[in-house]
Structure 1
């Protein structure tokens, strides 16, 4: 299991993503461990598989209402499901790209895979736990899930 101190890179990445959109910081709640039998998530999740010295995945999961608000704040008029999923892919890419800087070039990340709801067992092995970090932007709640060993 990855050390909890290493989670900071993922959290500062999500904060940087939102700060770039409208200058406001996200509120980050206390991370907690969750068993993977019941993954935590919202309407859509952007999942990035990780391989190399660390194996597992990182995901960001958000409700449609939050994704539509981000799209609106960005000045985009198209808030279709396709656009929401693209946005979630961008969030996931931002998080994992910054993580590569922290963990090094042997850290191999896949392109984001967007799934409906929370990631399933094909991403989150049942015999492991995930660090779940809830965060809030403009009153909208979302989570970052990290399952890396």
Structure 2
């Protein structure tokens, strides 16, 4: 009997140890499930972050392509501008040559009218000056003339 009691006590201790081990496994299982949940959340956040990075990369690539196209267009304009100025100058000079007779005639007429008006003005001033001086003329002594 004492052996049976000893065996029973040993069996109770074994059961107690197994219960403690079972509780430890249960706690470990809960911890692992929580860890798994946290890892799943972190994985989802990483996937979301990766998607945002991919989207941002696409946006940057689009902006880079747009910038590259703009630079190409600006280079084309830069290369074309001197030709445009040369062409505009040639057209301007050709237009002046076409209208040379009209320009020269108009210039000469304007210049002639200006000189004519100036001559008339000077003549009028001279006449007015002479008229103003009439009262101041000296009378010649009798007998000298």
Give TM class, smaller chain.
under 0.3
Bigger radius of gyration among the two: 2
- Judging by fraction of residues, say which structure has more strand: 1
TM (normalized to structure 2)? 0.18
TM (normalized to structure 1)? 0.17
